[in-house]
Amino acid sequence: MNAILFVEQTLNGLQFGVTLFLMAAGLTLVFGIMNMVNLAHGAMYMVGAYLAVAATQWTGSYLAGVLLALVGTLLVGVVTEVVALRTLYERDHLDQVLATFGLILFFNELVAIIWGRAALFSDLPQALSGHIELVTNLRYPVYRLMIIIVGLLVALLLWYVVTRTRLGMLIRAGASNRTMVSALGINIRLLYTIVFGFGAALAGLAGVMAGPIYAVQPGMGELILIQVFVVIVIGGIGSIRGALAGAIIVGMVDTMGRAFLKPALGALISPTAAEAAGPALASMLIYLLMAVVLALRPEGLFPARGH
Amino acid sequence: MVRNPVRLFSAALLATSLVAAPAFGADTVKIGFITTLSGPAGIIGKDMRQSVELALEHLGGKMGGIPVEVIFGDDQFKPDVGKQVADEMLKKHKVDFVSGIIWSNVMLAVAPTVTAAGTMMIGTNAGPHQLAGEMCSERFFTTSWQNDSTPEAMGQHLQDLGLNDVYLIAPNYAAGKDMLTGFKRKFKGRIAAEVYTKLGQQDYQAELSQLRAKNPKAVFVFLPGGMGIQFLKQYSQAGLRGQYPLYSVYTVDELSLPAVRHAALGQFETRYWSPDLDNAANKKYVGDYKKKYGKLPSFYGAQSYDGMMLIDSAVRAVKGNLKDQKGMIAAMRKANYASTRGKYSYNVNHFPIQNYYLLKAVAGPGGAGDVPVMQIQKAVFKAHKDSYYTKCKMKW
Amino acid sequence: MRARLVLLIVGIAFLALAPLVATAFDQLFYIDLLRRVMIFAIAALSLNLILGYGGMVSFGHAAYLGIGGYAVAILAHHGIHNGFLQLGVAVGASALVALVIGAISIRTSGIYFIMITLAFTQMLYFLGISLDAYGGDDGLRLAARSDLGGLVDLGNSTAFYYLVFAVMIAFLYLIHRIVNSRFGMVIRASNSNEARTRAIGFSPYPYRLAAFVIAGAMCGVAGYLFVNHTAYLTPDFMHWTRSGEIMFMVILGGIGTSVGPILGAFVLLLLEDLLSGMTGFVGQHWQLFIGLFLVLVVLFAKRGLAGLLPGAQRND
């Protein structure tokens, strides 16, 4: 029984981890390549979730809704980049933080104006709403398994794009030496816009998949944003590999902490003390982890090259 | 009628506003209504605001023949901002009553500020135990409840059912602990586990896995707002809905039901009020609210509507003489108005002595695909008194 | 520079006279409002010392606001109302926590520094939430404001106002002196070029750490004043958005300028108060406009609001 529970919690941690990874991938690319701190990344997650609900309702098909939402988030990302963020690449990180925080407020209110402040209804597609018996006594929701699979596929795809394609080569080159890439006649501005839109679409995908299990409401992006920053900082900024590792570590630590910290503490100290300290410590665990990682490795676990 | 004067900030504008500040006599009843209007929780504030506006409409914009002016303030869900807005209501707008407040911590910052300034405070949601007990004040009334009473009703219900092995979940903060304490005050059966989750947590899959491993007989949760929406969806998606009956307080209401829909079907809640409560005042309130805003009101709205009606009863009793605070307090203590919950009375601490009902989420009038509605099953408590009034030293 | 000086004097004179005007017109609310703004200005000033001059972007500065507040509230909860003792504990505790956080954080730089300071403050925030004995998330009500003997009666709105005003002016001057001292030179130099600072024989680490501790202690004073202002304390004092707000005041006003943080605190908080009090669409969606305002300031006022003041170009 305990082994089954442990496997189930591992799957839960993995599922949380890949959701974080989808968010972290875009954020870390934008940071690593454009040297840009984008707090508004959480807003793209929210936009994705809202567009998916709206488009699913409009088309009546879940799949069409998801595709439209992805395209829509990509467009919103591209427009945001062209209108507001493009001029910020050369600026101080502080200016970027201030401007993108402004964008968070802007998008949250915009969503509230269009769809209202109440949480929207969004449901699982019929085909994915069941359970699957992985091994005896371990039934796991199909939808959550699908999230794990999609997340891992995206990781694989990203690895392929970055290491094996011309676009990936440009991305890597742009990260380490932007003047050189421009000198070679590459349109660096277009490259940046593509990367940003791509990152926004990935955040949108995370939002689309989160919609049916979480509450679709204004401000939903900020709840996850801080955790995503923790992920990319632990993993090492600018590194896709680091983002994946960081996401899985944070997902696992957080899930396992919530599940097993209190009983584990109870065995060490008195059960009443564990009752009080367990939940508090579980909430702090990922921040504690980040502080320890940074104290030992100030550049994160997998620092990107060229920095 | 409902006005919200522009706040001015620069030096020059400050001076002009001071000169231009109109001197209101007793020719208006001024009420400062403070609630959360921005951010995700703004949805609750909106429901309260709309109910206040509906109450004014029903009153014809007058209380005891005097025109009413309500000034709305946004506390942004922060106690220090709530206090600042309260100061603004008292010192700038010079209101006769302050009302509203959703959150216990904002209430604990605001209520003593208002009553210490000699102004009456009519709370319309939060009922922290301090205000029901040692911090009670003759200038403070509430049209809602003491926080613990609702979970006490649920604890009583599960006790009456004779259940054992109940699994408890609440967020790890003061209200979460109070709710479980209230529940355990009446429920004496075995508790399978008591789990505290992170405040604002989104994913409950890990907790649900633990829950299934424990195999309890029933589950009791307190997860307000977005947390509740997420929990209910995930509970139903995990296939636990049919397996373990789910009981809750402040988790399912008319604001969250449209977002949760079928995942809430079969959910039990306890509450002092429900849209289907059968009395004339409630029918008028719910009917007109639905007509005006196109949806059902929540209990937050009903309390706010009652708050305005309670103030009206006091203003009428003193014939518009707002200086006669003693007279108004005496009038309010009678609760002599048509409340949406039906007739109730006030305890020594100015908290209602009222009924608490068991509610169940059932399919809406449009069938299975429609938004579910709450339906009263039975009264758990009749004329229930809160658990703190003995600590209140007030004498009538 | 003359125009700036005149503006500074006008501003100080305005703040010095504001309570008299407000009292004369029976609009005492403005005393409370300006007092709250000045308390945040003090917090922003302290952050500017490390952020503006030292280049240390602390995204966790609200931690000291909370620690200063908890020092007062916890002591008051146990019946100790001596304001001087409370102040000593508030400053001491803030400095100690800043020493621990700084000692670990200053080894990192850039975004890593931002995130590690955030991480520590998040830990303190969740610690505050789980402190059941001190109200947890509900917070603590201050039974009595700090007792400063016969010096200042904090229950008196105007007297308290002038205390906050005096602290703000004193800190403004103090930071001016620190920045222009030898110590301040090292801090500023380490910001612009760490390698060069090392080359001329200074290890910047102890200097940066000292500045970090001073800023923490100063913000602890802001926390001391803030809890006396609200007479109420919640872990919300340390919420990460609060750290963000303080940071935005500094950036908005103009980083590394002496009066910038004060300007930023005034504009941000008064604009918030103005917009949220409006009727109709603007009042209901005021955060939309605050958001746009922040974006526009960054895009068009590159050096913050202080950069728009006359004489700004020649400054540093």
Could C129 and B173 be called an inter-chain contact, meaning their C-beta atoms sit closer than 8 Å? yes
pLDDT above 70 (res B210): yes
- Between chain B and chain C, the number of residue pairs with CB atoms below 8 A apart is 117
Q: Give the whole-number percent of chain B exceeding pLDDT 70.
A: 93
Which chain C residue has its CA at the smallest distance from B7's CA? C274
Is A229 an 8 Å CB contact of chain C? yes
Q: Rounded to a whole number, what is the distance in Å from the CA of C27 to chain B's nearest CA? A: 6
Is B174 an 8 Å CB contact of chain C? yes
Average pLDDT over residues B98-119: 92
Least confident of B265-274, B289-298, C135-144, C191-200: C191-200
Could C294 and A98 be called an inter-chain contact, meaning their C-beta atoms sit closer than 8 Å? yes
- What does pTM read for this prediction? 0.83
The pLDDT of residue C313 is 47
Could B209 and A124 be called an inter-chain contact, meaning their C-beta atoms sit closer than 8 Å? no
Is C277 an 8 Å CB contact of chain B? yes
Could C226 and B113 be called an inter-chain contact, meaning their C-beta atoms sit closer than 8 Å? no
**In chain A, what are the domain boundaries?**
2-218
Q: What is the pLDDT of residues B285-317, one digit of tens each?
A: 999 999 999 999 999 999 999 999 999 999 999
Q: Rounded to a whole number, what is the distance in Å from the CA of C147 to chain A's nearest CA? A: 34
Could A139 and B239 be called an inter-chain contact, meaning their C-beta atoms sit closer than 8 Å? yes
**Could you give the 3-state DSSP secondary structure of residue C58?**
coil
Q: What is the pLDDT of residues B118-127, one digit of tens each?
A: 999 999 999 9
Domain annotation for chain C: domains and CATH numbers: 2-308 (1.10.3470)
Contacts of C274 in chain B (CB under 8 A): 6-9
The pLDDT of residue A176 is 67
Hey, CA dihedral for C153, C154, C158, C159, is it positive or negative? positive
Q: Are B253 and B155 in contact (CB under 8 A)?
A: no
Find the distance separating the first CA and the last CA of chain B, reported in whole Å. Answer: 36
Question: What torsion, rounded to 10 degrees, do the Cα atoms B304, B307, B309, B311 define?
Answer: -150
3 state SS for chain B:
CCCCCCCCCCHHHHHHHHHHCCCCCCCCEEEEEEECCCCCCHHHHHHHHHHHHHHHHHCCCEECCEEEEEEEEECCCCHHHHHHHHHHHHHHCCCCEEEECCCHHHHHHHHHHHHHCCCEEEECCCCCHHHHCCCCCCCEEECCCCCCHHHHHHHHHHHHHCCCCEEEEEECCHHHHHHHHHHHHHCCCCEEEEEEECCCCCCCHHHHHHHHHHCCCEEEECCCCHHHHHHHHHHHHCCCCCCCCEEECCCCCCCCHHHHHHHHCCCEEEECCCCCCCCHHHHHHHHHHHHHHCCCCCHHHHHHHHHHHHHHHHHHHCCCCCCCHHHHHHHHHCCCCCCCCCCCEECCCCCEEEEEEEEEEECECCECCCCCEEEEEEEEEEEECCCCHHHCCCCC
Could B256 and A13 be called an inter-chain contact, meaning their C-beta atoms sit closer than 8 Å? no
Could B209 and A8 be called an inter-chain contact, meaning their C-beta atoms sit closer than 8 Å? yes
* C-alpha neighbours within 13 Å on the C-beta side of residue C197: 21
| B161 confidence band (pLDDT: 50, 70, 90) | very high
Could B9 and C274 be called an inter-chain contact, meaning their C-beta atoms sit closer than 8 Å? yes
Contacts of B237 in chain A (CB under 8 A): 124, 129, 141, 143, 212-213
Amino acid at C35: R
Q: What is the pLDDT of residues B260-270, one digit of tens each?
A: 888 899 999 99
| B105 confidence band (pLDDT: 50, 70, 90) | confident
Q: Give the whole-number percent of chain C exceeding pLDDT 70.
A: 94
The residue among C310 and B137 whose pLDDT is bigger is: B137
Which chain A residue has its CA at the smallest distance from B45's CA? A117
The pLDDT of residue A133 is 80
**Rounded mean pLDDT of chain B?**
88
Q: What is the pLDDT of residues C67-107, one digit of tens each?
A: 999 999 999 999 889 999 999 999 999 999 999 999 988 88
State which residues of chain A have pLDDT below 70. Answer: 1, 175-179, 182, 304-307
Could B105 and C30 be called an inter-chain contact, meaning their C-beta atoms sit closer than 8 Å? no
pLDDT above 70 (res B360): yes
Beta bridge partners of B191: B166
Record: fold of B149-271+356-384? Rossmann fold (3.40.50)
Q: Rounded to a whole number, what is the distance in Å from the CA of B380 to chain C's nearest CA? A: 29
| Chain A: residues touching B (Cβ < 8 Å) | 1, 5, 8-9, 12-13, 15-16, 108, 112, 116-121, 123-124, 129, 131, 139, 141, 143-144, 210, 212-220, 223-224, 255, 258-259, 275, 278-280, 282-283
Domain B11-145+278-343, classified CATH 3.30.70.270, yes or no: no
Is C139 an 8 Å CB contact of chain B? yes
Contacts of B259 in chain A (CB under 8 A): 118-121, 215-217
Which chain A residue has its CA at the smallest distance from C295's CA? A99
Q: Rounded to a whole number, what is the distance in Å from the CA of A237 to chain B's nearest CA? A: 25
Amino acid at A246: G
Cα distances (angstroms) measured from residue A267 to each of A3, A242, B196, C130:
19, 34, 18, 21
Find the distance separating the first CA and the last CA of chain A, reported in whole Å. Answer: 48
The pLDDT of residue C68 is 95
Could C141 and B80 be called an inter-chain contact, meaning their C-beta atoms sit closer than 8 Å? no
Is B181 an 8 Å CB contact of chain C? no
Question: Neighbouring chains of B at 3+ CB pairs within 8 Å?
Answer: A, C
Residue C239 is given by DSSP the state -
pLDDT above 60 (res C22): yes
Contacts of A113 in chain C (CB under 8 A): 285, 288
**Could you give the 3-state DSSP secondary structure of residue A139?**
strand
Domain with CATH 3.40.50.2300 in chain B: 11-145+278-343, 149-271+356-384
- Between chain A and chain B, the number of residue pairs with CB atoms below 8 A apart is 101
